Amino acid sequence: MSAPLIGVTTYLDRARWGVWDMEAALLPAPYPRLVRESGGLAVMLPPDGPAAAAAVVARIDGLVVAGGADVDPARYGAGRDPRTGPPAGERDSWELALIDAALASGTPLLGICRGMQLLNVALGGTLVQHLDGHVEAVGVVGRHAVTPVPGSLCASLVPGPAEVPTYHHQAVDRLGAGLAASAHAEDGTVEAVELAAPAWALGVQWHPEMGEDPRVMRGLVEAAAERARGGRAAARAVRVPGWRETGRPLRVGGRGGSAESPSPSPVAYWSSTQ
């Protein structure tokens, strides 16, 4: 059987190469490399019209929502902290539609950093807009320990405490509908979220593509391969009541359950991407 097809979301941004300077669909090379090393075939999914999301998801076996720019706080009903980066509205709309389509079809889904945060927002959760201590320096990927929750999907892939590559200044605050926190940092920050079985939907706050541990991506690829063997038409759809149905999340979580963000700082915004 051929390797499962894994769609990975991308930026649309201006880039330079050779003699060219123009808008490009960008994806850091470690993402497709990790998909390939984990047994999958990677395909890039640049932002498109949200109406196309269901048709795209129907053609892939698994979905990775990659890291990147801050989620627009308007998506979760919050005012903008001065340290929150500029909005990426086209990407937010596209990836939210992909997440909806993946959950509705039972397509295995992995959210990485921004992707985990967007999964939480898609299901009615909120974010802490600025968090200290999880970035060594702008443009430098650091490492810190995370501890998975016993019995979780995350723990089945990464049992026990682990050192992970990290680069983020935002985090999950209030959990979205149906999501459970499945790993934490030493300071209590939520480092992974997931949906209950039979869904295979996992978000990790760290960047597995920047490390040497393939277990999280391998878990997605294996779930995608199993789904492909069973046939997409037979895949079990997972209906999760998110904010579109309920208007409110079902669980309260995050860094102690507070819906408040840290106080603003005088800087314009935290100028980096995840």
Tell me 189's DSSP state. -
Q: Which of 168, 169, 184, 207 is catalytic?
A: 207
Q: Which of 191, 194, 209, 222 is catalytic?
A: 209
Is residue 154 part of the annotated active site? The answer reads: no
Alpha helices in the chain (DSSP H): 30-37, 53-57, 89-105, 114-122, 153-157, 215-230, 243-246
Give the Cα separation of 224 and 146 in Å (integer): 25
Q: Which of 95, 113, 144, 194 is catalytic?
A: 113
Is residue 130 part of the annotated active site? The answer reads: no
Task: Characterize the bridge pairing of strands 190-195 and 201-204.
Answer: antiparallel
Task: Give the count of beta carbons closer than 10 Å to the beta carbon of residue 15.
Answer: 13
Is residue 207 part of the annotated active site? The answer reads: yes
Please report the DSSP string for 192-236 in residue order: EEEEPTT--EEEESS-GGGSS--HHHHHHHHHHHHHHHH-GGGPP
Q: Which amino acid is at 75?
A: R
Tell me 137's DSSP state. B
Tokens encoding 206 = 């760290």
Q: Which residues are catalytic?
A: 113, 207, 209
